Amino acid sequence: MGSASSPPSRRRWSWGSALAGAATTAAATALVLCRPRDPRFELISISLSTFHFRPPAALDIGLTLTVHATNPNVVPVRYGPSTVSILYGGAHLGTARLDAGGQPATSCRLLNLPARLDGVELAHRARSIISDVARRHMELEATVEIAGEAAVLLWSRPFSVRIDSHITVDPIFLEVVEQENSSEMQLYLA
């Protein structure tokens, strides 16, 4: 006598399984596309805005730094005010001011940062500065830490980003010759 064989078992299609698969795929895609990326900053130009000499030894030099800022993230960011430290030969030479503001998602913009150089520190470094002017090659360092938040609707995520720059300029024409920038972002739990 032959045994009756049953048909192979078939899995039944269900809306629940389809929705769970679609949700998993969407979450994985969102995770890859929305992962936070460091913003990018590039010094485009330096211009002299003020130059005052007040004897006996007071020197006031103001600059405007034009910076190209890029937000590569898919969410807009808001940030608080920050101070950029400008260093020469390891010594604090001056500061630039970044006002509080924001930047739309995946966008670029130019920022004009007012800067002041310390006349006393310039006087202490006069010999090195004169040598750099003669060579038309001056190396500067700049550091800044910017705190802010990325926000979409009701969701907000605080962050801070530290940017370190090594900039070579022609001190006669105030041209940016070369620069190397690095940034490191820190995300905080809300």
pLDDT tens, residue order, the chain (190 aa): 555 555 665 667 677 776 777 767 765 555 455 666 778 888 889 898 888 877 766 677 899 999 999 988 888 888 899 999 999 999 999 999 999 999 998 999 999 999 999 888 888 898 999 999 999 999 999 999 999 888 766 777 888 889 999 999 999 998 999 999 888 888 776 5
Q: What is the pTM of this model?
A: 0.76
Confirm whether 157 is domain-assigned. yes
Confirm whether 115 is domain-assigned. yes
Confirm whether 21 is domain-assigned. no
Confirm whether 153 is domain-assigned. yes
Is residue 88 classed exposed, middle or buried when 0-12, 13-18 and 19+ CB atoms within 10 A define those classes? buried
